[in-house]
Each structure stands twice: as C-alpha cells, then as structure tokens.
Amino acid sequence: MTSERLLRIAVPNKGALAEPAAAMLRAAGYRQRTDSKDLTLIDNDHSVEFYYLRPRDIAVYIGRGHLDLGITGRDMLLDSEADATEIMQLGFGGSRFRFAARGGSGMSVADLNGKRIATSYPGLLQTYLNEQGVSAELVKLDGAVESAIRLGVADVVADVVDTGTTLRRAGLELFGDAICSSEAVLIQRNGGSDLPPQAEALRTRLTSVLVAQNYLMMDYNVEQVNLDTTTALAPGVEGPTVSNLAKTGWCAVRVLVPRTGAHLLMDQLYAAGARGILLTELAACRL
Ligand SMILES: Nc1ncnc2c1ncn2[C@@H]1O[C@H](COP(=O)(O)OP(=O)(O)OP(=O)(O)O)[C@@H](O)[C@H]1O
Ligand SMILES: O=P(O)(O)OC[C@H]1O[C@H](OP(=O)(O)OP(=O)(O)O)[C@H](O)[C@@H]1O
Ligand SMILES: [Mg+2]
C-alpha cells in the first residue's frame, strides 16, 4: 500500500487488554511485536505504526492529536476526559464499573454522601456522583482497590468488576447500578477527519474479524434426494456451495452458519441425512 504517511495506532502494552488487542490485530492481518519490551512496531505492508502504551494513557495521546487511533477500555476513555471518542466496539475486555462495600452493610447510592470512596477512576466516578447529586471524598489509588476498606482508607470502593472473584475474596458486596459497562473500543480524536486511508482499511479488517467470530464454516455430504431439506435448514448467506461427490447421487455442501445454534443445526442435518459434517473456525470474514 502506498500513502503519504504511516497511520499511528496506540495498543495497550500490558494489562487485561494487551494480549486480546494484539491477537485481534494479528487476526486482521497486521504484524504485532513478538517481544513485550518493544515500544513500537512498523508494519510496512500496511503503512501502519503501532505504539505500545499504558491503556490509561492511550486516550490522552489520541485526544491531543499525537496518535491517530487507539485501543483502550471505554471506562478509561471516559475517566480520562480526553478529547476523544469511540468509533468501534471490539468485543473483548468486557467489565462493569461498580460500587462495593463490606458484606452485609446494606449500602445504597443515597448513603454515599460524606463517605470516602477509593477508586482508580476518579473522573468516571466524580461524573457519576455529580449526576446523582452525591458529595463524597474520593481516595485515588492505583490498583488493588478492594483492599482499601479492610485497611481503613475508605468506606466504599468503586472499581472494575469482571468475574467478581476479587471482590468476594475481599469480603465485599456490590451495591447500586453499574456506573459504566465497558469493553475494548477503537478511539479517535473528536472531530478528527485528517486520518490517512489506512484508517478505514483497519476498521474494515477489524469488522471482518468480529464477523468471523459470529460464524462457522460447515461442510457436509448428503444424498441428492435430501439436498433440498438440508439446504433449507442451513441456507447460508448467498446460498450454499454444492459440488458433486465421486460417489454417484451424493454431493458435498459448504455453507456459512451462525455460531449460535451450530451444534443443534448439526443434529438436525444429521437427522436429515447429512454425513461427515465438519465445523471449522474462521479467521476473518467479509460478507
Ligand atoms: N478482569 C479484568 N480485570 C481488569 N480489567 C479488566 C478486566 N476485564 C476487562 N478489563 C478492562 O481492561 C482495561 C484495562 O484495565 P487494566 O486493569 O488492564 O489496566 P491497568 O489497571 O491500568 O493495568 P494494570 O492492572 O496492569 O496495572 C479496563 O478498560 C478494564 O475495564
Ligand atoms: O472481577 P474480577 O474478575 O476479579 O476482576 C476485577 C479485578 O481485576 C482488576 O484488577 P487488576 O488485575 O487489573 O489489578 P489492579 O487492581 O492492580 O489494576 C480490577 O481492578 C479488579 O481488581
Ligand atoms: Mg488493573
């Protein structure tokens, strides 16, 4: 690809988003670093340069216009209050930002007035408290926020919850609605319109990875007399590819099927006469 300049993309260098972000970019056909100490990597074939940065800092670089696109968490983008916006949901790194207090304390958001709330996301939390008309003292911590109550530095925590294991281990219980539902997102500067053409190519390729996650490739053999029944069960997108088998009266069918319900479909196809049914993962898929 020829272009006047490299597209500059920020990718999380560590934490929960780093590995899945690199894996998604690899699945989309981009080169990624093999040494986790590398700070940057140029993919010359696609005229893209990747910068490996702390996920918390990525919105800052994008908002100030020093990098073109970035992958970070929605919660981190909102917390940063950077001049940046999400342009695509990436389907990994899902979490919720929640309040928690000592088990059995029966807290509610209305009880937060005057309380000390420990968090690593003061921007996100303060915005929410303002909306709720609550006045509380924020205790800003870098991580392991769940220990703040036991150690007496806070009455309540507001933190990222995925499985809830960390909270349970700390003897805490959730209260109130989720302050934010987060996942990894692709971000750009607000109103940013001077992106090189590789930006659109990246979005198309990432979309093809997401689409591929929703489908599987199915192959099966079936007798000609049963073909109408099996193709009605699995009609595919444009229609199945049907080829002749060497065995007279039989054909081979290849068809894209939704991942959800694929095993139920296998049962139905088998009952309808399909044999040798194969399900295969897709790396990428542009429909
Ligand atoms: N199980 C999880 N634990 C932590 N963050 C998660 C999890 N699942 C998804 N995330 C998301 O990952 C993003 C980055 O959080 P992460 O904890 O990796 O950053 P960090 O705390 O700055 O880094 P580190 O934990 O390495 O110091 C956030 O958007 C968060 O919502
Ligand atoms: O609900 P869970 O599945 O237990 O995951 C949530 C925990 O994971 C994150 O911590 P991380 O490992 O990023 O450490 P940190 O607190 O030092 O950031 C987050 O801050 C929670 O503590
Ligand atoms: Mg963390």
pLDDT in tens, the chain (287 residues): 554 799 999 999 999 999 999 999 999 999 999 999 999 999 999 999 999 999 999 999 999 999 999 999 999 999 999 999 999 999 999 999 999 999 999 999 999 999 999 999 999 999 999 999 999 999 999 999 999 999 999 999 999 999 999 999 999 999 999 999 999 999 999 987 789 999 999 999 999 999 999 999 999 999 999 999 999 999 999 999 999 999 999 999 999 999 999 999 999 999 999 999 999 999 888 88
Report if residue 168 sits inside a domain.
yes
> Angle 198-214/18-27 helices, nearest 10 degrees?
100
Whether residue 77 is found in the same domain as residue 132: no
Report if residue 55 sits inside a domain.
yes
Q: How deeply is 166 buried, as exposed, middle or buried, from its count of CB atoms within 10 A (0-12, 13-18, 19+)? A: middle
Closest CA to 78 of 100, 94, 63, 99: 63
How far away, in angstroms, is 19 Cα from ligand 3 center?
A: 14
Whether 192 lines ligand 1, by a CB cut-off of 6 Å, is no
Range of the structural domain that residue 236 is part of = 215-280
Whether 164 lines ligand 1, by a CB cut-off of 6 Å, is no
Report if residue 207 sits inside a domain.
no
The answer to whether 162 and 95 are in contact (CB under 8 A) is yes
Closest CA to 223 of 254, 241, 244: 244
Domain count, the chain: 3
Whether residue 88 is found in the same domain as residue 99: no
- The pTM score is 0.90
The CA–CA distances, whole Å, from 31 to 49, 54, 91, 155, 218 equal 10, 20, 20, 46, 29
Report if residue 40 sits inside a domain.
yes
Report if residue 205 sits inside a domain.
no
Whether residue 140 is found in the same domain as residue 171: yes
Domain limit, last residue, from 148, 166, 196:
196
* CATH number of the domain that residue 178 is part of: 3.40.190.10
The answer to whether 12 and 54 are in contact (CB under 8 A) is yes
Whether 17 lines ligand 1, by a CB cut-off of 6 Å, is yes
Whether 76 lines ligand 1, by a CB cut-off of 6 Å, is yes
Domain limit, last residue, from 161, 196, 231:
196
